[in-house]
Amino acid sequence: MKKILVVLTLLINSVIYSQPDSVKFYSLEEVKNADPDSVFAISLKKSKLTKLPEELFRFKNLKYLDLEKNEISDVLPIGEFKQLIYLNLGKNKLQNFPVSVCQLLFLEDLVVNRNEFSYVPPCISACKKLRRIDFWETPVRSLPKEMEAIKTLELIDFSGVKMNPTGYKLLKEQFPGVKLEMDAPCDCMY
């Protein structure tokens, strides 16, 4: 039964946090000769990146950026993409939450699952249009009080994050109107 539950959770997460169906994502190769102002969605998924390629910065009007499944572990200058509404940084090696995300004032969907950071900075509250955040299997155990000011939040995914009953209860109280995807609390330190 537990295996079936894990498979269902994985399927649901992949549907919720995959690239938006109605958006056509392009690779950098496909848009190398395109007018930068006409490109709105780029995927660099599974590109073995450790940092953002310089040519990406030509596309200042990006609304969708997929950087999932790379090797990014350091600071990201992602704040230059002021128009982003969707950002996927899932399954990288981020040791710290990329503070530059706090500059993305139009961001609605943020995927930072399967990374290594445990702290989310208070500046995330600047993302006033944020609707969904995916922390699945990222060791975040609490969120800054400032996040409560984001009135557009609909879903926060904490699946796969070990949390004791106290932490579990505190998150539910902190975000009463937000759907929290969480595993059952455990008898653990966190």
Q: Read off the pLDDT band of 190 (50, 70, 90).
A: low
Sheet of strand 179-181, all strands in order from the earlier edge strand to the far edge: 41-43, 64-66, 86-88, 109-111, 132-134, 155-157, 179-181
Superfamily of domain 2-181: Ribonuclease Inhibitor (3.80.10.10)
User: Taking the domains of the chain in order of start, what are their residue ranges?
Assistant: 2-181
126-164 tens-digit pLDDT: 999 999 999 999 999 889 999 999 999 999 999 999 999
61-112 tens-digit pLDDT: 999 999 999 999 987 899 999 999 999 999 999 999 999 999 999 999 999 9
Task: Quote the DSSP letter at residue 26.
Answer: B
